[in-house]
Amino acid sequence: MQISCVNGLTPRELAAWRGFLRAHARIVHDLDRELQAAHALPLHEYEVLLMLADAPSHRLRMTELADAVLLSQSGLTRLVDRLERAGLVLRQRCESDRRGLFAQLTEAGAARLEDARATHFEGVRARVLSRFSDTELAQLGGYWERLFPEAAAE
């Protein structure tokens, strides 16, 4: 059976798109496996700790955090529940908006993040960064900024 689309992708477009999807899936899978094996810390949890570490006062509103790590509100709530049980994050009520909640990085969370950073950076370098020259990395960074220019200002 042959399925065709009138406005389908060209072979070059399809190869670029599928290559991107394969690369992303494989890199994320491998980085997640490494962090879990070395630090019992899944990649999504690492990303939440990283976002909080980089935030002013090491805290973010739950809605901002969900947007930053590309999770739904309910997905982030479950993830923060696990991090809170582990003592890595605290939830705090927002003083100006009693309905709002902050996620706050704890000292234990900062220490766990610091322990995991080297593993994560080594994995990123080995799987991605080391495969490109400095010039190519600059070009690649420019390509991603072209897709989301608003993220470059953050």
Phi, psi of 88 (to 5 degrees): -95, -20
Query: Within 13 A of 88's CA, how many CA atoms are on the CB side?
Result: 24
Cα dihedral across residues 38, 124, 112, 25: positive or negative: negative
**What whole-number distance in Å separates Cα of residue 146 and Cα of residue 152?**
9
Averaged pLDDT for residues 1-8: 62
- pLDDT tens digits, 7-53: 688 989 999 999 999 999 999 999 999 999 999 999 999 999 999 99
Average pLDDT, the chain: 92
Picking from 109, 71, 75, 74, the residue whose alpha carbon sits closest to that of residue 90 is: 109
Averaged pLDDT for residues 87-114: 91
**What whole-number distance in Å separates Cα of residue 74 and Cα of residue 82?**
13
Kindly give, in sequence order, each residue whose CB lies less than 8 Å from that of residue 80, ignoring residues fewer than 6 positions away.
Answer: 48, 62, 65, 89, 91, 103
User: Hey, what domains does the chain have and what are their CATH numbers?
Assistant: 11-127 (1.10.10.10)
pTM to 2 decimal places: 0.85
Averaged pLDDT for residues 127-139: 97
- pLDDT at position 3 is 57
Query: Where does the pLDDT of residue 148 fall: very low under 50, low under 70, confident under 90, or very high at 90 and above?
Result: confident
